[in-house]
Amino acid sequence: MISFLVHFLRQHFFIILCCVVTAFLWPELRKHFVNEYEQYQTRSESDVRLFTREELTQFDGIHNKELYLSILGSVYDVSKGLKHYGPGGTYNYFVGKDASVAFITGDFEKDPNSDYEDDDVLKHLKAQEIYSIHQWKQFYEKDYIFLGLLTGRFYGYDGEKTDYMKKVDEQIEIAIAEKEKHERLRVKYPPCNIEWKAETGTRVWCTSQSGGIDRDFVGVPRRFYEVGKSEFRCACVPDDRLEDPLLKGYDDCDPKSVECFYVVD
């Protein structure tokens, strides 16, 4: 028995030694691995690749075969859209730069890199237009790969939003609030059906689904002047809301009629 044990220990000396050393060092090793893992986790959550404007210019399909574009400071890999963005493609203008404003103006001639200061999102655009750029950004978020952030106008060298970007965000929030308000008013005062004929002029009329709003009332046509707008639109109004000062009746139309005719001069 003893000779067997001695034989066994001799045969497996190094394995046993390794086990003893590992067991001895295990608490320290464990601490080390956990630390490494935690650091990796934090890095992968907070570290976003940062691009400078100069770096981004390289990803234009000529200097580098990859195609990157930036919108509101977020950089996307659009290489899979080669037919749109590649050299000679209709939208090749967008790659290698942040041309956020051009998503609204459709001006694909201007060089936003050489004339950066003038390419001012806030200076030239209304909240709704900035929101449209934001919707393009959402499109890229969904269809392409997000790579990181472009430093400069929208993000600082620490990857944090600049004050400028915070103002852009504010405009986007204003636009969203306006849209929600507009939608609430569409439900409250659904649009009328509308048609035009040379003999009768414009006819507006209400049905329980006019304006695409399915509802339990039909309503009567009224001119609805939304606050801040000089133009009116035709709204179908239920009896209990007819006193709203934002509403006006149509000339020569019975106030209880579900249809009215009018001629635009």
Which residues of this chain interact with ligand HEM, rule CB under 6 A?
81, 84, 91, 103, 106
H or E element, residue 102: helix 102-105
| Identity of the residue, 81 or 221, whose beta carbon is nearer to ligand HEM in the bound complex | 81
| β 49-51/145-150 pair status | parallel
CB of 215 to ligand HEM, least distance (A): 35
Helix then strand count (H, E) for the chain reads 8, 10
N- to C-terminal Cα separation, the chain: 117
Residues 6+ apart with CB under 8 A from 193: 204, 205, 206, 207, 210, 211
| Identity of the residue, 103 or 224, whose beta carbon is nearer to ligand HEM in the bound complex | 103
| Identity of the residue, 24 or 139, whose beta carbon is nearer to ligand HEM in the bound complex | 139
CB of 111 to ligand HEM, least distance (A): 16
| Identity of the residue, 22 or 90, whose beta carbon is nearer to ligand HEM in the bound complex | 90
CB of 242 to ligand HEM, least distance (A): 42
CB of 132 to ligand HEM, least distance (A): 9
Please identify the residue of the shown chain whose CB is closest to the bound ligand HEM: 106
Two tokens, residue 229: 């707008």
Contact between 66 and 38 (Cβ < 8 Å)? no
